[in-house]
Every structure is written in structure tokens, then in C-alpha cells.
Structure 1
Amino acid sequence: MSWIEKLTGSLEQKKQFKADRRRIEALPAPYSEAAAALLRYFMYYGGVTDGDTMITMVGDLADLWERAAADGTPVRDIVGADPVDFAETFAEAYTGRRWIDKERARLVEAMDRAAGDAT
């Protein structure tokens, strides 16, 4: 890994992410709109810190919508009546580390110490 990648992250991952975004942008409407909205939501909700996991998730998202577009599957048949539930269930299927994981561990440790349960 070069020094620049240590600062900015993997250049290969960035290339793959951009390629998958282009795949999403190239989809016909309404699939491109749905996939782009989900991707935007993942950037806020997911908090995935592992680059490999994020790349896999975005690639799978592009695959899903490419198949839906090819088959003519209606958007609601994919996301259902609750798109937030769909998005969060989809994102949670990717078990990479998330920003909140560190804070959850800190909270548990703090409560253990406060309760006198610390070992």
C-alpha cells in the first residue's frame, strides 16, 4: 500500500465504487432513481467503515437494480411498502464494522464500570 492510500484509502476500492455508481446512474428510470436514493441513504445510515464491505454492498445494490430493470420488476415489488425497512435490512446484511459499533462497546463498558460490573 502506498503512502497516499494510507491517508485516503484504497485506490482500487475508489475505482470500484465509482464504477458501481456509474452502473446505477446508467439504469433507466425509475430504477436509477430508486438505486441512487438507496445509495444516498446507505451513506448516512450504514456507517460502514470497512471498505471491502462497502464495495460489496454497493456492487450488490447495482446488481439488484440491474436485474430488476432487465426483468421489468416494479420498484415497489423490490422495496415493498416501507423503503426505510428495506434499506436498513439490506444494509444490515453486510456485517462490516460500523461507526456505531465502537460507541456501543464504549457504552456497555461505561455502564459496566458504573454498575461495578467491570472485570
Structure 2
Amino acid sequence: MNAESKEPKSRYLQYLELLTGSLEEKKRWRQYKARVKQLPENYRTAVEALERYLMHFGPADGAGAMAMFTDLADLFEQSAADGTPIRDIFGEDPVEFVEAFMANYPLGQYRARERNRFTSAIARAAGEDTERRDGTD
């Protein structure tokens, strides 16, 4: 079934997706994994390590995560084609790279918002700051 199709899903497909998750997202995941498998070994190793990190700390929803993984595959395919060294992609601090990468996706931004909220709460509790900086009431 095409994600852009305007036809209603059958009850069977609705039930199946309720149990298993979006079939379209599963298809996109398989396509992403096939793309990664085609990368040169060192790029594939880097992507798989980054993927593992993102599975633990990245966006949790299917659509948001798939957009991020698709962009990740694009980045590494282009880098491999250009011969960009792995260290030039990640820089000296791979965690800084991945945190900046995740911040570009809506569900990755919640982490920065929660860090600010947490820091503000501790500052208020310590009597250092009485003004909320996290934008919440």
C-alpha cells in the first residue's frame, strides 16, 4: 500500500498495523538497512555504531526516526562517494556530532528542552534563579 494513497485501508490492514506497527515504516526500515549494507565497510561500521546510539537516545516514533535514518544514509552515501574520511564527518567528538544531528529532528529537540527545564529547576531549588527559562508555566 502506498503511503500517499488516499484509499482507506482495509479493516485487516488496520488491525495488522495496530498489532505490528506501520507496514510502510517497516518497508522504509528495510530500504534503509539495504542502503547501509551497500556502504564500504568503514562507513557501514560508523553508521551501525551511530544507529545503535540513536536507538537508545534518538526519537522514538517511527516516522521521525525514519526521517533521521534516511538522512543518515544520505549523509554516509554522499561521504563515501566523495571519499570523506570518517573523522571529518564526526569531528573529534562523535557524541557532539550525534547530539547536534539529533537536534535537527522534532523529537530530538525534546532532550534540549528537558535539559533546560531540569537545569532551571535545580537553579530555582538552589535559590539561584527565580525566573523560568524553559518556556513552561
Deviation per residue, 1:19-67 (Å, 9 max, x gap): 1012112100211111111011100111x23221111100000000000
Q: Which residue of 2 aligns with 1:3?
A: 15
| Unaligned segments of structure 1, at least 5 residues | 112-118
Quote the RMSD (CA, aligned, Å).
Answer: 2.6
Tell me the TM-score normalised to structure 2 length: 0.68
State how far apart, in whole Å, the 2-side matches of 1:92 and 1:98 are. 5
C-alpha displacement of 1:7? 2.4
Contact 2:102 2:109 in 1 (8 A): no
- The one-letter code matched in structure 1 to 2:24 is E
Matches within 5 A, 1:65-84: 65-84=76-95
In the superposition, relative to structure 1, how do residues 5 and 99 fare at CA in structure 2: closer, same or farther (>3 Å)? Answer: farther
1:62 aligned to which of 54, 58, 73: 73
Contact 2:103 2:109 in 1 (8 A): no
1:90 aligned to which of 79, 101, 106: 101
Is residue 28 of structure 1 aligned with residue 45 of structure 2?
no
| Unaligned segments of structure 2, at least 5 residues | 1-8, 122-136
Q: Which residue of 2 aligns with 1:16?
A: 28
Tell me the TM-score normalised to structure 1 length: 0.77
Q: Which has the higher contact order (CA 8 A, sep 6+)?
A: 1
Q: How many residue pairs align between the two structures?
A: 106
- The one-letter code matched in structure 2 to 1:45 is F
After TM superposition, the runs of 4+ consecutive aligned structure 1 residues lying more than 2 A away are: 96-101
